[in-house]
Structure 1
């Protein structure tokens, strides 16, 4: 008797284990739950239609009942696939470089597992970027000291073409290191800025170099900006325009106009512009439309990248387009 009772208890225990295992697999499988909903919808709908055929006024209640059952099934399916919207929002955030964003794990199913993997991927990418940024900052800082000593030694060389060329190369190396450091600082976005009341018109007048025509709309608002970073943006855009401008067609135009509650800054030249296929790549680090240009003529490709980072850190966007003739860069502040 005791042996039979033990046997029945073990059988019942194994049955419970299998049932819990299958139930856990069912809850984890989105496909299985969707199939169950569709089967339930089909069975209930069939039952409603079969019951309505035996009544003279069956359609009067069968149609609302079918609509109600369909609505309930739609709500259940929508609840099950709702985490897909959170995944789409997370993918958009990662595309914008916001790797601190985390996808909420709503259900413990296959989509929940995918959300966990999304979050782990974002954490790994963020750790990799932080490591790269720390390494680049350390190398850039360490390069400054030997570069300064090399420049001091170069100053002792006798005057001539070789000395001037050496000093020019050292100056380009210094500018490159400074640009790299600044790009990494701006990589943290708004937190890198030191905001204060800034007169954009005054900064624009500082860049009114020979060959530049300044147009400033009167009564522009005073904005909270990082003066040094905006000054860097203005200087890079104006110097880039002067380098490629065709003076026979016109002078470089530097304009400030009110746009909504903010100010739109624009710099336009009358040069040859850039190939249309190169426009999407402008602003990327070290990218230059004409690879054949020398570094002395075309820079290293960090000027527009810094301008883009300054604009994005202020909540704006650097817009680049061919103006036909020429090329225009614009940023909206505020």
Structure 2
């Protein structure tokens, strides 16, 4: 539940909608409950007064020997009637007597073919003498239809009421009224209504949340693809104002970034092209230098400048990510690279792995792997290459037996033209762009290059975000034991 709450905008939207429904219902209940109770009490009081007045007229118009039958017939589940010779004096004592009459069950009536009818039970309050009116109350003339006064009191804090009125023969008619406790506000009908309302609001919230989350998911997919260098179609600029403005901002950002990269790549290509002419001219003029040593130094410097220029242009081309993205067998790509380097005399060992389909720019990724493997074979005596497929990442790991890289230099070695090897010999140190190009390519694929020192040597991990195909291979790979490393070429004297 916590994961759903933290990870789903739709779940939060639905939860807040249902919470607002519950709070609004609770507010309505608190506001209307007191008013509802007052209305019910007034209606019950009016009914009781009217029935008592009618019963007084009937009793006064009938012979005394029929009064008991009339009183018994007038009793209901919520009202009791009895006649006393003395008028009520103490309100608490009369109230206690009234509750005794109310809780006394009525004679059960049995109809032919049916069982006896069950009477609802009326429970008196815990302290009936202390919960009602402290004294007798006078009924207002406009609410009492007879011309004689009546004594009235409340039996409890609910609907319990009592009335005593003197008849013409000097006796007193006593009436007690109290309805049994009902189901309350949260009954089956109200809960059903609340459930249907919650279901309806949930459907509306789901529909509204989908209208919000779908453009966000589309934007996230487009941003992820664009960050990995894949071509992305402009997002549809539709929907509410906020969503439409977000899509417009993303489209403008994508257009500006593509234009900026293209302009910079074209500018550097033009610079590289223009540099070839003066470099060729310098090489030709150097050939006419009579001093052999000076001529060799000049030609070496010109060759180094040309090499750095070509490497810089290659580095910028990788940042431009002009290559199309497609799905390839990542295992076959790395294995064929290792085989090619082994044929050139490098000491490379590749650990066989299951086939992994991966969507990438294969030429760029092959170049990044080549740079890492060549560095390991050149500076670390040998290169051990393997592929690790996990649920989140696919890692290409290159390990060697070299001296490693001090921790203080692990970030600096990714800077263009930075070399730990201090000589300017291009045969031993290169131009210092290998790791920079490898990290640029990895980050264009959504990954990175991580360096870790081993007990002996260095581990270089090119990590890539796992695709669905790569994730499915991981489970199969866990069931089979890892095959032994495939040594493609022995270390020639290293």
For the aligned pair, the TM-score class normalised by the smaller chain equals 0.5 to 0.7
Which residue does 2:382 correspond to in 1?
A: 253
CA displacement at 1:89 relative to structure 2: 3.5
Residues 1:321 and 2:458 aligned together: no
Residues 107/270 of structure 1: CA separation in 2 closer, same or farther (3 Å cut): same
Give me the whole-angstrom Cα distance separating, in 1, the residues matched to 2:363 and 2:236: 39
1:67 aligns with 2:198: yes
Deviation of residue 145 (structure 1)? Answer: 2.3
Give the Cα separation in 1 of the matches to 2:211 and 2:364. Answer: 48
Q: Aligned with 1:88: secondary structure?
A: helix
Tell me, yes or no, if the aligned pair for 1:93 and 1:101 is still in contact at 8 Å.
no
Number of residues of Structure 1 aligned to a counterpart in Structure 2: 283
- TM-score, normalised relative to structure 1: 0.62
Deviation at 1:287, TM superposition (A): 6.0
Distance 1:120 1:308 in 2: 27
Q: How does 1:1-334 map to 2 (within 5 A)?
A: 41=21, 45=25, 56-72=187-203, 74-82=205-213, 83-98=215-230, 100-186=232-318, 187-191=320-324, 199-209=336-346, 213-216=347-350, 236-237=371-372, 240-241=375-376, 244-245=379-380, 252-257=381-386, 266=398, 268-275=400-407, 278-279=410-411, 283=414, 286=416, 288=418, 300-308=431-439, 319-324=449-454, 325-329=456-460
Q: Name the CA distance, whole Å, in 1 between partners of 2:325 and 2:198.
A: 56
- Could you list the per-position Cα deviations for residues 14-62 of structure 1 after superposition, in whole angstroms to 9, with x for gaps in the alignment? xxxxxxxxxxxxxxxxxxxx9xx89995897469856996685344314
Q: Which moved more, 1:81-90 or 1:225-234?
A: 225-234
**2-side partners of 1:171 and 1:192: how far apart?**
34
- SS of equivalent residue, structure 2 residue 382: strand
- Checking the alignment, whether the CA contact within 8 Å between 1:230 and 1:310 is kept in structure 2 is yes
What whole-Å deviation, never above 9, does each CA across 1:159-189 have from its counterpart, x for those lacking one? 4554333222212211122223323444335
Alpha-carbon contact 1:269-1:328 (below 8 Å) kept: no
| Cα RMSD, aligned residues only | 4.9
Q: TM-score, normalised by structure 2?
A: 0.44
Larger Rg: 2
Structure 1 unmatched ranges of 5 or more: 1-33, 246-251
Equivalent residues of 2:414, 2:436 under 8 A apart: yes
- Return the alpha-carbon distance in structure 1 between the equivalents of residues 23 and 264 of structure 2: 58
- Which residue in the other structure is 1:5 paired with? none
Conservation of the 8 A alpha-carbon contact between 1:179 and 1:306: no
Once residues 308 and 317 of structure 2 are traced to their aligned partners in structure 1, the CA distance between those partners, rounded to angstroms, is 14
Instruction: Give 1:329 deviation, angstroms.
Output: 3.2
Is the CA contact 1:236–1:303 (under 8 Å) kept in the aligned structure 2?
yes
SS at match of 2:289: coil
Higher helix share: 1
Could you tell me how far 1:119 is from its partner in structure 2? 0.8
CA distance in 1, matches of 2:204, 2:362: 58
Distance in 1 (alpha carbons) for counterparts of 2:342 and 2:239: 58
d(CA) in 2 for partners of 1:231 and 1:139? 27
Extract unaligned runs of 5+ from structure 2: 1-13, 34-182, 465-469, 471-494
Contact conserved, 1:45 with 1:66, CA < 8 A, in 2?
A: no
- In 1, Cα distance between equivalents of 2:348 and 2:186: 85
